[in-house]
Amino acid sequence: MPPEPVLRAAVRWLDRLPASGAAQIRALFTAHRDFSDITPTQYEAAYTWLQAAGLLDDLQSSIPGPRRIFDAAIAHSGAPWLPDADLLVRSPDELPDDVLRAASSLGLDEVEAFRHLGSAWGKFDARERERIGAAGELALVDLLTNSTTARVEHVAAWSDGFGYDIAVHSAHHPGHLEVKSTTRRGRLTVFLSRNEYETMRRDPHWELVAIRLTADLEPEAVAAIPKEWIAEQAPTDQSPQGRWESCRLDVPPDVPVPGIPRLAPVLVSGGSELLDGTAGWPG
């Protein structure tokens, strides 16, 4: 989180930039005693941070400056707890100290801070899932291409309507793989769409495959999630008027089956040990 004076300086910049140029505002901050509680260096640090956070790209936003700055401060903090904020911060009482200090300096109370943290985490998580998901699919395509005798097709690259991401074309041992990627250790959370679930139910070749990546997005473990376990956890529609469209599954560490057992017959000798289960699935 930026220091408290930098956050306050950022609010002053956002308040004035829609009506004045940066040079004029900089001169005001430097010369007028009403703004002397913050140093010129801190004003410059705030301006640089606003640029890096993308807040100068929309100076006409109707969202109050303190709220925009607070959301950006969380999203760009790099805090180690942020990826797991949904589990670690479940009420205002569990807000980290740095979040509370930032909120206080921006005039937000604990309840407002908690609400904004939930929103910021949701945006962060969606971006990370997209980034890591794309990397995981490409990594698995590469592993399969170099480790199987079958033709591998990345169908998700041109359509998301199949209910799976990768097709392994084999006359006797085909596979339709829905890929879920993660960089986390000790936690595997997957989001399953209704289309993916219904595809699982009707397609005998469908398989949910988890791939764990390093921080550099290199593959380090692959495992299959049994269909039976998925079916037991999935929601149930209670009436024709209500239908679930996506669900979140928190997969216990003893559920994933290392490798992709369904594809064992088409794996070549000397292929990746991630696919044959030799490497295991670290909990």
Number of other CB atoms surrounding residue 214 within 10 Å: 10
Q: For residue range 215-229, what is the model confidence (pLDDT) as tens digits?
A: 999 999 999 999 999
Q: What is the pTM of this model?
A: 0.78
Helices (H), the chain: 4-16, 22-31, 40-53, 65-75, 85-88, 97-105, 110-145, 194-202, 227-233, 273-276
Least confident of 2-6, 12-16, 105-109, 183-187: 183-187
Q: What is the mean pLDDT of residues 253-264?
A: 95
Residues above pLDDT 90, as percent of the chain: 80
Digit-coded pLDDT (tens) for 138-151 = 999 999 999 998 99
How many alpha carbons fall within 13 Å on the CB side of residue 173? 11
Structure tokens at 134: 């794309």
Candidates 3.90.1490, 3.40.1350, 3.30.160, 3.30.43; CATH matching 133-276: 3.40.1350
Residues 6+ positions from 232 with CB-CB distance below 8 Å: none
Q: Delimit the domains of the chain by residue range.
A: 4-108, 133-276
How many angstroms separate the CA atoms of 176 and 209, rounded?
10
List C-alpha distances in Å: 123 to 76, 116, 182: 11, 11, 17
The arithmetic mean of pLDDT across residues 244-259, rounded, is 95
Backbone angles phi and psi of 253, in degrees to 5: -65, -20
Helix, coil or strand: residue 116: helix
Q: Given pLDDT bands bounded at 50, 70 and 90, which one contains residue 120?
A: confident
Identify the bridge partners of residue 211 per DSSP, sorted by sequence position. Answer: 181, 222
**Is pLDDT at 122 greater than 90 in this prediction?**
no
Residue 119 has what pLDDT? Answer: 86
3-state secondary structure 26-50: HHHHHHCHHHCCCCHHHHHHHHHHH
Token pair, residue 5, equals: 């004076």
Strand partners, 182: 212
How does residue 283 score in pLDDT terms, banded at 50, 70 and 90?
A: low
What integer best gives the mean pLDDT of the chain?
Answer: 93
Tens-place pLDDT, residues 40-85:
999 999 999 999 999 999 888 888 999 999 999 998 888 888 888 9
Phi, psi of 268, deg, nearest 5? -90, 155
